[in-house]
Amino acid sequence: MRRIPAAIIYAVTQTTEAAATAEDTLTRRRRRIHRAWFVAAVTFVTIIGAAAFRSLPGLLIDPLHQEFGWSRGTISSAVSINLALYGLTAPFAAALMDRFGIRKVVAVALTMIAIGSGLTYWMTAAWQLLLCWGLLVGLGSGSMALAFAATVTNRWFTERRGLVTGILTAASASGQLIFLPVLSWMVEEHDWRPAAVTVALAALAVVPFVWLLLRDHPADVGLKPYGATEYVPKPPPVTGAARRAVTVLFKAARTGPFWLLAGTFAICGASTNGLIQTHFVPAAHDEHMPVQAAASLLAVIGVFDVVGTIASGWFTDRYEARRLLAVYYALRGISLLFLPMLLAPSVRPPMIFFIVFYGLDWVATVPPTVALCREHYGEDSAIVFGWVLASHQVGAALVAFLGGVARDVFGSYDVVWYASGALCAAAALMALVIRRRPATELAVA
């Protein structure tokens, strides 16, 4: 039997090893993109589609006032109900997701938004605005609140949670960026009704993506959460969703960090959704700025909100969350004190600077707030954050209503800007008071 030359054996061995190495590299590349990132992407698109309705309320105040003669306070009360329900529904929605799954809850919520927005096309009385835009859209939007993003993040990620929270939070701003210029053009050039129909269609268009592509838990597809070292089995459905949400509330309410987080987040909602998003366009219009120009400025806020929120998520993974919150609120309060001096018939560089600055800070508070909820409340953190978000929306609802009343009483929004700036300063101090959870407690949790 002839011997195989050593050179040939060596060449074959090297070729085999190279092929094995290439196969391992290819396998690693295939596995490099975890399914969690695709779930996050679907969640991002879903929130973008649902964000259309968030862009509309501030554009409706003047058109509805002119067409129906309703006071700004009456119109703002519908926005107030919407914002309040947006927050109060969130903790129950988080519990319902534990019971029935994310897909079912989100699909139903989007359908409710579409129905509520679509029915406003035929409204002729103020109570119909309260019912459609206040009740139906409020309930639907509450189920699509940031608690949805927190639930997805908690289930699918153990690493990069701050970054993912920032990205998903930025989705709402991206939706505002996409829809606000279009909706303002519709309202200005045609009527408010086509804008309402557009919101309804946008919500319906996202439902198939949710149903076909979103998954409730990594175990549904046989995967570990991103960054986890061990497989996490899917927990059984949790019954008594409403009871659990209330139980978690009472448990959290016995702790100091909950009230501090709720208080700071209420001020966050008051100074963003309740104030700027609802009243910036009519306030700018009071100074003879065109509606489309004012709406475009809000869209620019959406651009920089994406940058600021993702950056905040990155910072939250690396720095102490409560100090980040203090900085965010302090800078926001200072900027609001200058706003009355910046409103003018035309857009000037100082106003652009304010818009960019406010955009970077818009919801940068969300990643550190979610991180603090997770630090203090562990597995219940998504539901606790839902209740904290409820305070956010209650604050937004109060200022949305009081801002309209102040405009009717004083003839301007100046007092609202100054009061909100003072509240942000108080929020900065409250954030610093939040205690860090001892390392021994974290180890037990």
**pLDDT tens per residue across span 92-121:** 777 778 778 888 888 888 888 888 888 888
Lowest mean pLDDT among 10-19, 335-344, 385-394: 10-19
Residue 225 inside a domain? The answer is no
2-33 exposure pattern, b = at least 16 Cβ within 10 A, e = fewer: eeeeeeeeeeeeeeeeeeeeeeeeeeeeeeee
Cα 234 to chain centroid distance, Å, stands at 26
Q: What's the CA gap between 214 and 211, in Å, rounded?
A: 6
> Do the domain assignments include residue 259?
yes
Which tops the pLDDT comparison, 413 or 144?
413
397 vs 241 pLDDT, higher one:
397
Residue 66 domain-assigned (yes or no): yes
Give the model confidence (pLDDT) of 316-345 as tens digits.
Answer: 888 888 899 999 999 999 999 988 888 888
Alpha helix (H) ranges present in 101-255? 102-119, 126-129, 137-143, 146-156, 161-189, 192-213, 241-253
Of 306, 318, 421, 332, nearest to 368 by C-alpha is: 318
* Residue 26 banded pLDDT, cuts 50, 70, 90: very low
Q: What's the domain range around 175?
A: 35-216+241-444
Banded pLDDT at 25 (limits 50, 70, 90): very low
Q: Is 227 inside a domain boundary?
A: no
Residues in the chain: 445
Give the span between the Cα atoms of 147 and 432, in whole angstroms.
24
Residue at 255 is within a domain: yes
> What does each C-alpha distance from 227 to 34, 163, 376 come to in angstroms?
9, 13, 21
CATH number at residue 97: 1.20.1250.20
Answer yes or no: is pLDDT of 135 > 90. Answer: no
Percentage of the chain modeled with pLDDT above 90? 10
In a domain, 180, yes or no: yes
Span 53-75, average pLDDT: 77
Q: What is the CA radius of gyration of the chain?
A: 24
Residue 2, in any domain of the structure: no
Number of structural domains, the chain?
A: 1
Across residues 374-389, what is the average pLDDT? 84
Considering the chain, what percentage of its residues have pLDDT values greater than 70? 85
Higher pLDDT, 147 or 415: 415
Cα–Cα dist 415/397, whole Å: 17
Task: Decide if 97 is inside a domain.
Answer: yes
DSSP-H helix ranges across 120-145: 126-129, 137-143
pLDDT at 239: 67
Q: Over range 126-144, report the average pLDDT.
A: 81
